Amino acid sequence: MIVLTVGKSYVDIDGYASCLAYRELLKMQGIESKFVTHATLNYSITKSLLDLPYSIDDYEVNSEDQFIILDLSNKDFFPDFVKKENVVELIDHHSGFEKYWDDRLNKNAIIERIGSVATIIVEKYEQSNLVQKMDKSIAKLLMAAILDNTLNFTAKITNDRDRKAYYMLKTITAELDFADKYFNECQNTIEHNLEESIVNDLKHQKTSKYLPDIIGQLTIWDVDRLRNKIDRVKQIMNDNGNKWIINIISLKENTSYIMCSDDEVRQTASELFDCSYNNDFLMLKPARLRKEIMEAALSKNIE
């Protein structure tokens, strides 16, 4: 069996949508596969998306299975059930492990600087001349993934391939106001389940002396709606570690509001982006994705 999977800690909409969509594409091509994950789904996978008629498979992985890894290339974060020697394909948009996988998988390793892995999946449908046979529910999932991972097409990592893929999906769903609906639903989920939303999207990873090992992220529509919960955000982050930052992305303003655990972290974060800390936040405009912040820190290490 071919098993599609993502990281072991949490699953965001990009990994979730990409696995479901790729499973359906393989099915159209006569290839049976399963989407298996034991990780927690984060707030980017909203209730309306979970209510669509596609879901994770109830399948017990065995030693003979082969694996396709999506939205991940750091093998340290593979699920425990993945046998690395049985990985046959990998698709990601996080940098750092290109040579490792190119040496092992050659053309079956796609690691590209692009807004969303979902964009690459849409391109696979296009290459197979199957875009118009894509189910509307799958198209909605992929649309949400592209929106979330490009910050509504404002992130620096966004390119024309993301925009083209989204346009193709929109012709399938015919939903013109999908972005507004999706991001407002995400924010409603965050506001009603703040601790769960933060904890289920924490990244624990040593990146650079300029960043702590715990990095949170919330993507919301309007930061003003969250201002009366800032103390609660700090408490939740403190409960999960002594040194941390959280990147609160306000799409309405296209701004990252970065909160830090203490003066030491504030100082190194300020050095990283050459800006000052003001009124609880280090503000970055345009907004930066967490992966862009981590890439900047890695580049700063080399200087």
**Average pLDDT over all residues of the chain:** 94
Q: How confident is the model at residue 302 (pLDDT cuts 50, 70, 90)?
A: low
Which of 45-59, 106-120, 151-165, 197-211 bottoms out in mean pLDDT, i.e. has the lowest?
Answer: 197-211
Tens digit of each residue's pLDDT (9 = 90 or more) over 94-114: 888 999 999 999 999 999 999
| DSSP string across 157-196 | T--HHHHHHHHHHHHHH--TTHHHHHHHHHHHHHHHSHHH
Average pLDDT in the 203-225 region?
Answer: 91
pLDDT at residue 74 above 90? yes
Q: What is the DSSP letter of 253?
A: T
Q: How confident is the model at residue 209 (pLDDT cuts 50, 70, 90)?
A: confident
Query: Which residues, 6 or more positions from 253, have their beta carbon under 8 angstroms from its beta carbon?
Result: 223, 285
Burial (Cβ within 10 Å: 0-12, 13-18, ≥19) of residue 35: buried
pLDDT at residue 126 above 90? yes
Which of 59-68, 69-78, 292-301 bottoms out in mean pLDDT, i.e. has the lowest?
Answer: 292-301
pLDDT of residue 291: 87
Q: How confident is the model at residue 208 (pLDDT cuts 50, 70, 90)?
A: confident
pLDDT at residue 224 above 60? yes
pLDDT of residue 133: 97
pLDDT at residue 300 above 80? no
Q: How confident is the model at residue 146 (pLDDT cuts 50, 70, 90)?
A: very high
pLDDT of residue 276: 72
pLDDT of residue 96: 84
Smallest Cα–Cα separation from 170: which of 213, 136, 201? 136
Average pLDDT in the 204-222 region?
Answer: 91
pLDDT of residue 303: 54
Tell me the domains of the chain and their CATH numbers: 2-183 (3.90.1640.10), 193-302 (3.10.310.20)
Smallest Cα–Cα separation from 117: which of 76, 157, 172? 157
Residue with tokens 């990780």, as numbered in its chain: 39
Which of 69-83, 202-216, 289-303 bottoms out in mean pLDDT, i.e. has the lowest?
Answer: 289-303
| Torsion on CA atoms 117, 219, 233, 191, rounded to nearest 10 | -120
pLDDT at residue 62 above 80? yes
Tens digit of each residue's pLDDT (9 = 90 or more) over 246-262: 999 999 999 999 999 99
Query: Which residues, 6 or more positions from 298, have their beta carbon under 8 angstroms from its beta carbon?
Result: 96, 207, 208
